[in-house]
Amino acid sequence: MSADRIDGKAFAGGLRERLAATVPAFTAATGRVPGLAVVLVGEDPASSVYVRSKGKATVEAGMASFEHKLPADATQAELLAIIDQLNRDDAVDGILVQLPLPKQLDEQTVIAAIDPDKDVDGFHIANAGRLAVGQPGFVPCTPLGCLMLLKDRIGDLSGLEAVVIGRSNIVGKPMAQLLLGESCTVTIAHSRTRDLPAVVRRADIVVAAVGRPEMVKGDWLKAGAVVIDVGINRVAGSEAGKTKLVGDVDYASAAEVASAITPVPGGVGPMTIAVLLRNTVVAAHRRAGLAPPAGL
């Protein structure tokens, strides 16, 4: 058996096109375009790359991108002042503070300062609570992107056994909530889980969000499982001095057993920014008192 490759890049491209197509009607109704503000503190190279690509994708979708850069030694008061300004700016529908923050800044306090209705990352405790009780809010982009890929592949997820490996607030926990919302039977595994391979073998759906290169092996999987690999791990490549990206799943052995699997790169990764734009479009509509466009 050789699993189908779930093409997250193509799916994300389609979503971005659908989002761009919603902008003219929003502009006709409100006289403006949806806007996303991204705040970067310091010059971490990976964070700078993410912020640049988020800005580029926002503009490509016909939306407004606002970038705010603070020096690495910025104080909590300076950062909170910018968030306050963005909370009150009507042209800004979504606010994202790029994480991780330098160590003098407290992430929880910073996230708590963002208006929950502009919290397009879905990290505010109000949005975590809304997800837990099944109210509309904002869901973190990576797990929502995973759910979109799963529904596109499988359709109705109701009654399926899902195992989520990882319990972080940004991936594992919201992923489990989303799958529960789809009426899956959900198990959350983590570093203290006993006999992880046996737990994973029960699953029709496996979501790996661990941060350990190629940890999940093909012989951990039930035949026909659908595997979503969230992991992004940089490891030594075959050429000396070169590195490559791998997921948390050993793709080659997993593809022998699974029915479908996301590759790394090109699977979950491209979904994250596309869903960020999706959340911004939804935020813009809600703030303007309009129904969010269907099919997003």
By CB under 6 A, name the binding residues for ligand NDP.
142, 165-168, 170-172, 189-193, 196, 209-212, 230-233, 268-269, 272
In the complex, the smallest distance separating the C-beta of residue 126 from ligand NDP, rounded to whole angstroms, is 21
Q: What is the DSSP letter of 101?
A: P
- Whole-Å CA distances, 56 to 16, 53, 60, 145, 273: 12, 5, 6, 19, 10
User: Smallest Cα–Cα separation from 22: which of 49, 61, 55, 68?
Assistant: 61
Of 11 and 26, CB closest to ligand NDP? 11
In the complex, the smallest distance separating the C-beta of residue 176 from ligand NDP, rounded to whole angstroms, is 11
Helix H or strand E segment including 154: helix 141-154
Dihedral in degrees, nearest 10, Cα atoms 143, 99, 13, 2: -50
Q: How many CB atoms lie within 10 A of CB 254?
A: 24
Of 88 and 192, CB closest to ligand NDP? 192
Of 82 and 270, CB closest to ligand NDP? 270
Q: Which residue shows structure tokens 């800044």?
A: 105
In the complex, the smallest distance separating the C-beta of residue 46 from ligand NDP, rounded to whole angstroms, is 10
Q: Which amino acid is at 138?
A: F
In the complex, the smallest distance separating the C-beta of residue 260 from ligand NDP, rounded to whole angstroms, is 17
Cβ-proximal residue to ligand NDP, closest one: 168
User: Smallest Cα–Cα separation from 221: which of 204, 238, 241?
Assistant: 204
Q: Which residue shows structure tokens 């912020």?
A: 51
In the complex, the smallest distance separating the C-beta of residue 208 from ligand NDP, rounded to whole angstroms, is 8
Do the beta carbons of residue 98 and residue 38 sit within 8 Å?
yes
Dihedral in degrees, nearest 10, Cα atoms 85, 19, 125, 103: -60
Q: Which of 54, 119, 229, 250 is catalytic?
A: 54
Helix H or strand E segment including 208: strand 205-208
In the complex, the smallest distance separating the C-beta of residue 264 from ligand NDP, rounded to whole angstroms, is 8
Of 160 and 210, CB closest to ligand NDP? 210
Q: Which of 93, 117, 119, 121 is catalytic?
A: 121
Of 61 and 268, CB closest to ligand NDP? 268
Of 19 and 271, CB closest to ligand NDP? 271
Confirm whether 98 is a catalytic residue: yes
**HSE toward the beta carbon, residue 111, CA cutoff 13 A:** 19
Q: Show which residues are catalytic.
A: 54, 98, 121
